[in-house]
Amino acid sequence: MPTFQQKQKRAELLRTHASRLGFEMVGIAKAERMDEEARNLEKWLNNNHHGEMSYMANHFEKRIDPTRLVPGAKTVITLTYNYFTDQIQEDSEAPKISKYAYGQDYHFILKKKLKELLGILNEEIGEISGRCFVDSAPVLERDWAKRSGVGWVGKNTLLIHPKKGSYFFLAELILDAEFATDNPIKDYCGTCTKCIDACPTNAISPEGYFMDGSKCISYFTIELKENIPSEMKGQFENWMFGCDICQEVCPWNRFSEKHEEPLFEPHSDLLKMNKRDWEEITLEIFQKVFKKSAVKRTKLSGLQRNIKFLKE
């Protein structure tokens, strides 16, 4: 078993190399079964707040117990990667796309960096067994991030950091090696209800800290494969892929700074496309603008469905 000093040294080494790879924050938590989070997840699922996202109900035990994902797991490491940009679409009437999807698909970019980081740790510390996760397996990433002090889970249910805001991706390493762990930080939402008041579909509960995923604009425009319910007409505030409303109104995002990742820069045509361009988008344009983008997940047909829904 490593000494406290050795675990501290490992943590410092981890942070140094993570920073070099572009990760902004690193939080470290002990790998253990998440009993309280398990009860919350079960309640959320039982009330069908996951809508058509049936995968959320799969692998329940793996979601709440990291040792089911990595046998002998001792540590869960949360890393953040900034994607904020002050760039906006030029036509104010154009259907809107969430900032996280402006550039190339973060899943592949971050996964590659995580694998490199894991390789470095193996070289520097000794043989470590572990896995890398970027939305790629049943991991309760926000709960682990909260446990490790990377931020608090805000009333909009997103992870918020008092100096970084919330425009960042989360990634995890689950390892069978011990590191010095971090402590949770305070919740600074206070009496603020801006995100609750601004959500046009009332997806966030009146008290906050609870999201009905089946009411979120991101759910309708990305996850839902069927037709969007007609009763939602006029409630999307022109969002065609994802939604940033609860982040745009969050006071903590005044501290967000522009990312430094070239691969997150939007295609040169993306921000220039006007309302008509989007309404008449062809497969050729879709493939060019979203060549390596997360938007490809919804396919051209899905994007056209969303744009048509906004237009009607």
Q: State the pLDDT at residue 50.
A: 55
Residues 238-282 pLDDT 10s = 999 999 999 999 999 999 999 999 999 999 899 999 999 999 999
How sure is the predictor about 81, in pLDDT bands with cuts at 50, 70 and 90?
very high
Return the active site residues.
135
Q: State the pLDDT at residue 213.
A: 87
Chain CA centroid to CA 172, Å? 12
Q: State the pLDDT at residue 40.
A: 74
* pLDDT above 60 for 53: no
Percent of the chain scored above 90 by pLDDT?
A: 82
SS3 sequence of the chain: CCCHHHHHHHHHHHHHHHHHCCCCCEEEEECCCCHHHHHHHHHHHHCCCCCCCHHHHCCHHHHHCHHHCCCCCCEEEEEEEECCCCCCCCCCCCCEECHHHCCCCHHHHHHHHHHHHHHHHHHHHCCCCEEEECCCCCCCHHHHHHHCCCCEECCCCCEEECCCECCEEEEEEEECCCCCCCCCCCCCCCCCCHHHHHCCCCCECCCCCCECHHHCHHHHHHHCCCCCCHHHCCCCCCEEECCCHHHHCCHHHHHCCCCCCHHHCCCCCHHHCCHHHHHCCCHHHHHHHCCCCHHHHHHHHHHHHHHHHHHC
Percent of the chain scored above 70 by pLDDT?
A: 93
* pLDDT above 90 for 159: yes
Q: Which residue has the higher pLDDT, 126 or 217?
A: 217
How sure is the predictor about 21, in pLDDT bands with cuts at 50, 70 and 90?
very high
Q: State the pLDDT at residue 45.
A: 63
* pLDDT above 70 for 147: yes
Q: CA 66, CA 72: separation in Å to the nearest integer?
A: 9
Residues 166-221 pLDDT 10s = 999 999 999 999 999 999 999 999 999 999 999 999 999 999 998 898 899 999 99
Q: State the pLDDT at residue 56.
A: 54
* pLDDT above 60 for 46: yes
* Averaged pLDDT of the chain: 92
* pLDDT above 80 for 60: no
